[in-house]
Amino acid sequence: AGCYVLSGTISRNDKVRVIRDGFEIYKGTISSLKHLKDDVRDVRQGFECGLTVSGFNDYAEGDIIEAYRITEVQRKLSQ
């Protein structure tokens, strides 16, 4: 899918939600990320990119691809 990064940074292997008409239609992982025909690790805000979401191929104009990362944070016990 051809995309434009509106905010933040999108990276290969990020988790994504595909949103159409306000409804989440698919959750997956970015398997391929390109900028100007070159494979890249990430693309910053304000740049165009091409990406492939593993297991999804039903893109439509106007779809929103929302990328996110899940990070584990160690709990700290306060005394």
Domains of the chain and any CATH numbers = 2-68 (2.40.30.10)
The string of pLDDT tens digits covering residues 4-28 is 999 999 999 999 999 999 999 999 9
Q: How crowded is residue 49: how many other Cβ atoms within 10 Å of its Cβ?
A: 19
Contacts of 70 (CB under 8 A, 6+ apart): 15
What is the pLDDT at residue 43?
A: 95
Phi, then psi, of 62 in degrees rounded to 5: 95, -10
- The DSSP code for 41 is S
Q: What percent of the chain has pLDDT over 70?
A: 99
pLDDT of 79 over the 90 cut: no
Question: What per-residue string of b and e applies to 55-65 under the rule 16 or more CB within 10 Å gives b?
Answer: ebeebeeebeb
